[in-house]
Amino acid sequence: MRKSPLARALGGSALALGLVGGAVAVTTGAATAAADTTPEVAAEQLTALQRDLGLTEAEATDLVAQEAEARAIDADLRSALGDAFGGSRFDIATGELTVAVTDAAAADDVRAAGAEARVVTRGEDALDAMVADLNAEGATLDEGIAGWYPDTASDTVVITALEGATAAAEEFAAAAGVPADAVTVEETDEEPRLYADIVGGDPYIIDGSGRCSVGFATTTGFVTAGHCGETGTPVGTQDGSGTGTVTGSVFPGSDMGVVEADGNWTPVAAVNDYAGGTVAVAGSAESPEGASVCRSGSTTGWHCGVIEAHNQSVSYPEGTVSGLTQTDVCAEPGDSGGSWLSGDQAQGVTSGGSGDCTSGGTTYFQPVNPILEEFGATLLTG
């Protein structure tokens, strides 16, 4: 893959998206990712990447192309290597994709595909199995456990504990049967919370009172966060001109929701960039750890950051949610349900996090493809 001298590999600011007008085309298949060719990126998206990741215009353009290439290579290797695939991570500082393998013989295949290879002991499947064991054991924020996720970079499971709760995290791992040498404990002073009930990106009203953000358009409505409304909840646009109903919702456990729109509320395949334009959605190919990700919202505007981990379990006061993606992008109340994009590929909808967009923070999103699969919905692309 090409290398680009990116100025900084850091990001983190604000978020949540909505849907806006424009022509659309319909994809087929509930969660099928569109072919991820090099996307044509909106000027506002490049501007946000430059601002939040400290890039020049040329570097931001190169980054989008490199990440599109990385997604394609990642998908091919994941399929070709089978059980030997141990996870992947993209480095925005070098433009390189590193793929972990659990079989040294597979390293040559990785290099031949254009990625760096790293041989690991456990790998993604084994780490995910440990996360499943932790999920089954369960832990709460009251116990000092903020969350847990598989970290393919360290080849361990990371348990995030509140300050002074390292011993509790170690006991949690032991109770779940996860070996001590497979666990990394990180302490934090940030407590996860949900982002709801204040206007978000292209806001919608929940049962005439609370507010959340539209996620991504489907052929019959849109996807959003599950905590934004139970099944059967009526929803509508802020001015009342569009109406719909929550026809599926899962929370906690997952944070998935889907809305069926009435005929007066037309879904379109775009998200609001809050700079007077929109960003088109071309598919839903998942980006690897380390890749950039952007989102927008009426509370916090359009901002970008980096994907830090997949398959994160988060202990909210309302219950544990598993299968989230962790980012270093901040968020604030009103951003829940909003859209996340990597290039022109839909990534997920805002769940919650900690911190704010003044001091920075951590935000988690529910990946979009599992939502589409759960409810049999079809992503709209334009």
What CA–CA distances, in Å, run from 370 to 34, 50, 324?
15, 31, 10
C-alpha dist (Å) from residue 42 to 222, 280, 294, 302: 22, 8, 12, 12
Q: Tell me if the bond preceding 179 is cis, omega within 30° of 0.
A: no
Alpha carbon distance 262, 279 (integer Å): 24
Active-site pick, 91, 128, 155, 255: 255
- The per-residue b/e assignment along 141-160, b for 16 or more CB within 10 angstroms, e otherwise, is bebbbbbbbbbbbebbbbbb
Question: How many other C-beta atoms lie within 10 A of the C-beta of residue 23?
Answer: 9
Q: Is residue 3 classed as helix, strand or coil in its secondary structure?
A: coil
Q: What tokens appear for 193 in the block?
A: 């919370």
Catalytic entry in 227, 298, 335, 351? 227
**Is the Cβ–Cβ distance between 315 and 141 less than 8 Å?**
yes
Token couple for 321: 């949610």
Quick check: 163 and 187 in contact, CB under 8 A?
A: yes
Rounded Cα distance between 1 and 146, Å, is: 37
Distance from C-alpha of 349 to C-alpha of 32, rounded to nearest angstrom: 17
User: What is the spatial distance between Cα 217 and Cα 312, in angstroms, rounded to a whole number?
Assistant: 25
**Strand, coil or helix: what is 373?**
helix
Active-site annotation holds for 313: no
Contact 285, 343 (CB under 8 A): no
- Reduce the DSSP state of residue 239 to 3 states and report it: coil
Active-site annotation holder among 249, 254, 298, 336? 336
Q: Catalytic: 227?
A: yes
Is 83 a residue of the active site? no
Pick from 346, 368, 279, 340: nearest CA to 34: 346
CB 311 within 8 A of CB 323: yes
Classify the phi-psi angles of 133: left when phi > 0, otherwise alpha if psi is within -120 to 50, otherwise beta.
Answer: alpha
Helix (H, G, I), strand (E, B) or coil at 76: helix
Q: How far apart are CA 300 and CA 25, in angstroms?
A: 29
Residues classed as catalytic? 227, 255, 336
